[in-house]
Structure 1
Amino acid sequence: MRNPAMLRRGLVGVAAAAAVLAAYLVITPSSEVPPSSAATQLADQRAATAPDDVAVDVVHAFYRSLQAKDIEAFAALWTPDAVYRVPVTPEGAPGQTVGRDAIVSSLREFFALFGDTRFTWQPEPMSDPQRAMATWTLDIQLRTGGTYQNRGVAIFQLKDGKISDFTEYFDTAAFLNAFGRA
């Protein structure tokens, strides 16, 4: 039977070595890492499992269509049976909309209220190549006067290169300030 104190010291040593290796991998430029190193093996493994860019491309197309208020381009991004989820909603607002036609119809109603529309977004691939997330901000001049400014995060699930499930979290107080009670 092993001595527990020695086992702990051994585990601490392994953890320290792993931390040093991780720091080395993070701060050493790839041109300075010898080809046979663990860093090269890790980079090769990441490249082999890196998410496909399709999901990130869809995120970019999604926000470009919103910024341009291009309803046809927006509609083309969704599967017919897509689900749009907003888990945290103002009282009385639906928590989800099902089907491309219903999603597009809802957005069309909002587009009628929007003047100048500015979005910023930052997509992030996920380990599943059919998923991506994005953080976003928006600044919209409302045709009825005033502005709507908000920020949030969205999670995109794709099926055959189209959005099949979309979950969005945003500042509901900002929404209510711009549009009143649902």
Structure 2
Amino acid sequence: MPTATSPADLFRHSLRLLLDKDIPAWTALWAEDGVMRFPFAPAGRPRRLEGREAIAAYMRPYPDHIDLHDFPDLRIHRTTDPGTIVAEMRGVGRLVKSGAPFDMTYVAVVTVEDGRITEYRDYWNPLALQEPGADFTGSSR
């Protein structure tokens, strides 16, 4: 992505890559020292991933767990920091292992510098992990 890409455009592109299950290209959108945070992660799940390689390792198996079909209801809000956006969205699809429907609501706070994601705070409902067949994170246990 060129460095002139807005945070909102970069984020929309990242969602298309997730739908295409192109995790290497999604990871390439990150700064080398990017940080991904999961503030509501339950015990035993990572709360912070540091560096593009750690994020890549976490996300690599994601398509093996979730078959994403769409991100409906996407709303992107600008903040007073031109490099930071807040995105509200739903991710819908199915859980690969069980075939059960997947429907998760997210709020993400994303910071972009020089055309790369430097920080991504992913706010989601950890109670969904307690549902049968819902072991869908790329956690490296």
> 2:103 is matched by which residue type in structure 1?
Q
TM-superposed CA distance for 1:116, in Å, is 4.7
> 1:85 is matched by which residue type in structure 2?
R
- Give the number of aligned pairs: 131
* Structure 1 or 2: more strand by fraction: 2
Equivalent position to 1:179, from 127, 135, 139: 135
TM-score (norm 1): 0.65
Secondary structure of the 2:60 match is helix
TM-score (norm 2): 0.83
CA distance in 1, matches of 2:64, 2:71: 17
CA distance in 2, matches of 1:167, 1:114: 20
CA RMSD, 1 decimal: 2.1
The aligned residue for residue 126 of structure 1 is 79
Provide structure 1 residue ranges, at least 5 long, that are not aligned to the other structure.
1-51
Q: Give CA deviations for 1:61-102 in whole Å, capped at 9, x if unaligned.
A: 121111221113201210011000011111211101111111
Provide structure 2 residue ranges, at least 5 long, that are not aligned to the other structure.
none
CA distance in 2, matches of 1:107, 1:78: 12
Secondary structure of the 1:88 match is coil
Secondary structure of the 2:71 match is strand
CA distance in 1, matches of 2:26, 2:63: 12
Q: Give CA deviations for 1:115-148 in whole Å, capped at 9, x if unaligned.
A: 3532222211212111111001011212211122
Given that residues 68 and 91 in structure 2 are in contact (C-alpha distance below 8 angstroms), is that contact kept between their aligned partners in structure 1?
A: no
